[in-house]
Chain A
Amino acid sequence: DTEVTQTPKHLVMGMTNKKSLKCEQHMGHRAMYWYKQKAKKPPELMFVYSYEKLSINESVPSRFSPECPNSSLLNLHLHALQPEDSALYLCASSQGERSVGELFFGEGSRLTVL
């Protein structure tokens, strides 16, 4: 069982909808990540929060908006998505700078944009 919990597991939305993906961890990790993964491809980094501050934004379109309400929670707000945004969205956490690369992933939210 993963210690990073993501909801919902599956989401279908239209291009005009607004939805949010949620992620929670209670391991005391100080870095949290959003990755996007398409079929048969490796995960692609989208955002990194370190100590609740956005530290990395990998040139992600503004229709994706991250939010870190506290050290345990990470949200990804979705608005006006395109069909090509359909993918598995993975949340991950790590202890912080001393263990970069040792990521704990959630099971992912599988998103379909119609």
Chain B
Amino acid sequence: QVQLVESGGGVVQPGRSLRLSCAASGFTFSSYGLHWVRQAPGRGLEWLAFISYDGTNKYYADSVKGRFTISRDNSKNTLYLQMNSLRTEDTAVYYCAKDTSSGSSGHFDYWGQGTLVTVSS
């Protein structure tokens, strides 16, 4: 069965960096696009970033463009989110999510359980 397991969350000071990982199994990782989506405490869902199956196409939300970088290692079946210059408003549960196509169908059929990032001094 498809599994996505995020890790790397924790408490970090404003201005510092953090890298999230998402380990995938149960499907052909190198054949699908992947996304990061976050949810601030008590708030709705916010899409952050997309990467195509081969890593050649990437898109970002304006709120994280220039600070966050999405990447993937198809040899390790792992998706990453490098988060730099973190702000208090980046505090959220971060989910990785699988797209239904190699490019982007734009919707997600599987999600991880999420990892909490808290940005606080």
Q: Do A and B bind each other?
A: no
Question: Which chain A residues have a beta carbon within 8 Å of chain B's beta carbons?
Answer: none
